[in-house]
Amino acid sequence: MASASSSKLGQPTRRIDGRLKVTGAAKYAAEYPAENLLHGYVVVSTIAVGRIVSIDTRDARTVPGVLEIITHNSYPGMSWWDRDWQDETAPPGHPFRPLHSDRILFDGQPIALVVAESFEAARDAAALVHVLYEVGEPNTDLRAASDAAYVPKQKRQGIQPPPKPRGDAEAAFAAAAMKVEAEYTQPSEHHNPIELFATTCVYDDGKLTIYDKTQGSQNSQAYVCGVFDLKPENVRVLNPFVGGAFGSGLRPRYQLFLAVMASLKLKRSVRVEVSRREMFYLSYRPITEQTVALGADPSGKLHSIQHDAVQGTSRFEDYQETVVNWSGLAYQADNTALTYELAQLDTDTPGDMRAPGAATGVFALETAMDELAVTTGVDPVELRKLNYTYRDEDNDKDFTSKALHACYREGAERFGWSERNPEPGSMRDGHQRIGYGMAGGFWEAQVVPAEATVRLNADGTAEIKAAATDIGTGTYTALALVAADELGLSVEAIDVEIGDSDLPTNSVQGGSRMAASAGTAVLLACRAIKERLLKQAQKTKGNMFAQAALEDTIFENGSIALKGDPGQSVALTELMSDGKAIEEGGKASPDKKVAQNYLGYTHSAVFVEVRVDDDLGMVRVVRVVSAIAAGRIMNPKAARSQILGGVVMGIGMALHEEGFFDHRTGRIMNHNLAEYHVPANADIEDIEVIFVDEKDDLINPMGVKGLGEIGIVGVAAAVGNAIYHATGKRLRDLPFTIDKIIA
């Protein structure tokens, strides 16, 4: 890489795609033009369980401009094999097949697609589709369904089951001098990114160019090819810009299927965009019940950790998250027992939502740790330090790095934690009670297989190509920074092309792994280019570079020089005077030797101040300090934004977000942004982000860890712990709304 003084990595850098976005030049899935474009509008079920007795489309077909109405009665033949419907991130089970039969499996299920010459005609006609149902009895209540909870037989790829018990957790808990045991519940939380799910399918003589709102263009391409039995060379999926996803776009959503189906049937280009109401049915954080039991000695040293979780899933897929495992790796304890079960509900399959599993499991664990701090009289920060672990005891492996101690120290100092009076309700400001709370956070640092090509042009510019995705996290800029840093070019000299299934292979953008994975592929491609440049310099520049190895050189300011003599340099353009570009590919994958002995995680310490109104019970989060340990920070400007966004989502999780099911009908009652509350500007006050120094030479060649998820982890627990400190009332049922505080 470049020398420390000139390194591009670690410098605050504006997004290279920022101007396109703020000027409206960046196009999203529903904005691409197509000749003779048709529009599809989805009719959804108004029951949660049952079957369709009849669908009357006669009135709808009279609307001018309507070309086709597709229902289960006119469903074209598709693959019968589940494997053809299962995408890269699908859980075990039978993937949902839109319009496949008359059965209704969940509220909001698509039951018809109206296709018309205009969006307005399709929408108006959809309102005239009349459906007669045979209504079944739904169960959307997790508590009622938990009696039939089960351990999934088949594990979801990438999701680790709970580890085997260590020691005898029950006996150690029974013998413990200090005990905490409580239940923690969480409702469904529903994705509402700015961009609605949409697909524009452009038809050209049997070939499809598909603009899709997705977190993985190649994942959507493989899904379309499998379901419709199409050749990959005839299907191209593009997603250059994604207006927020946070996990909701990992799986292909039904608008993709419907748009492609209609396009192939009518041999026309078709666009299908869902409504805001439909977004509530498509993907949500699952309903969860957890029990945590901690046993400790009078000093607060843990001897037993038990963590049990039951999550809701659909009737047709076993959606799974890593919920309880965090309790086995967060703190040192000789006796642990962790269990995870599913309970089937009459809902659509839940989906990944920022820090899936960790945001849920750490909420329960870190609330229980605060309760233990109260029980033992030990300061919450000191309690966590007392039980600090330097190894992942779940897997009996060392961490590649862990700077959580520094997060505790620097976060507490910046927040002013030492000024906290530990007595609940003791800190006041007029009619407001002041509460300080904190929690730790944990997320896995992943590297997955990824490929990229880098082309260095004779004019000193470079091009990057990879089927990576930018869901708002800054992938364009991150990859440009890697290439600029490695090749010694300016960021402005780098052109990044991503979001296209035709480009070198990448997995879906999820789990905070894109920068580390695709970035490593770019790094390796750049190093291959540098090797070729060095050989060229050795051929043409006499003895200057004759004995030099790559590590003896510096690439800076568009030139190559020796580290011992930086004044003597050769411009890269001079080495490419023949006018030919140099192109190399890079392939990233997890280091098997490292994986045998180490595991990588990001860590955080979140400190929160709340004010609780004496009379109204209204909670305001007035101050947050989030201290993050995430290896090398590629771009502090973008990194800070990632954590800010995570903290805001954590505040929403703590105080606002809740899907309400009418258990009599199984329907979601608040499927709109008027009644489903998310934080507004007035709800968010001061948030400070600290990145502690953490060097990690093992996690990947760049030493970077993902940042997209860690910002939310622990926030809800810290807010709840602060509310307890302010009021003396312990809340364990998310969200912490006024009715629960004043009850």
Report the catalytic residues: 709
How many Å apart are CA 512 and CA 706, to the nearest integer? 4
Neighbours of 739 (CB within 10 A): 8
CA distances from 609 to 651, 715, 724, 732 (A): 12, 11, 11, 18
Q: Cα-atom radius of gyration of the chain, to the nearest Å?
A: 27
DSSP state of 30: G
**Tokens 């007029």 correspond to what residue?**
430
* Of 709, 448, 444, 407, residue with least CA distance to 601: 444
How many Å apart are CA 239 and CA 39, to the nearest integer? 19
Which residues, at least 6 apart from 639, have a Cβ–Cβ distance to it below 8 Å?
A: 630, 633, 689, 691, 707
Secondary structure element (H or E) that encloses residue 646, with its range: helix 636-655
User: What distance lies between CA 381 and its chain's CA centroid?
Assistant: 28
How many Å apart are CA 174 and CA 446, to the nearest integer? 38
β-strands 270-273, 198-204 pairing: antiparallel
Instruction: Give the up-direction half-sphere exposure of residue 265: CA atoms within 13 A in the CB hemisphere.
Output: 22
Concatenating the DSSP letter of every residue in 696-727 gives -SSS-TT-B---TTTTTTTHHHHHHHHHHHHH
Instruction: Give the up-direction half-sphere exposure of residue 523: CA atoms within 13 A in the CB hemisphere.
Output: 22
Task: Evaluate the CA torsion angle 498, 501, 507, 510 in order and state its sign.
Answer: positive
* Of 212, 296, 210, 308, residue with least CA distance to 251: 212
How many Å apart are CA 675 and CA 603, to the nearest integer? 34
- Give the per-residue SS3 of 136-183: CCCCCCHHHHHHHCECCCCCCCCCCCCCCCECCHHHHHHHCCEEEEEE
* CB-based contact 212:256 (threshold 8 Å): yes
How many Å apart are CA 411 and CA 605, to the nearest integer? 7
CA distances from 696 to 180, 388, 397, 410 (A): 36, 19, 16, 19
Concatenating the DSSP letter of every residue in 374-414 gives HHHT--HHHHHHHT--SEETTTTEEES---HHHHHHHHHHH
Which residues, at least 6 apart from 354, have a Cβ–Cβ distance to it below 8 Å?
A: 246, 247, 646, 649, 708, 709, 712
Q: What is the dihedral of CA 83, 512, 474, 403, to 10 degrees?
A: -170
**Tokens 């027992």 correspond to what residue?**
337
Q: What is the dihedral of CA 319, 162, 448, 354, to 10 degrees?
A: 50
Q: Please, what's the b/e burial string for 590-620 (b: 16 or more CB within 10 A of its CB; e: otherwise)?
A: beeebeeebbbbbbbbbbbbbbbbeeebebb
* Secondary structure class of 291 (helix, strand, coil): strand
**What residue type is assigned to position 83 of the chain?**
R
Neighbours of 546 (CB within 10 A): 10
How many Å apart are CA 438 and CA 416, to the nearest integer? 12
Secondary structure element (H or E) that encloses residue 654, with its range: helix 636-655
* Of 328, 285, 334, residue with least CA distance to 307: 328
How many Å apart are CA 701 and CA 417, to the nearest integer? 36
**Tokens 């598709």 correspond to what residue?**
78
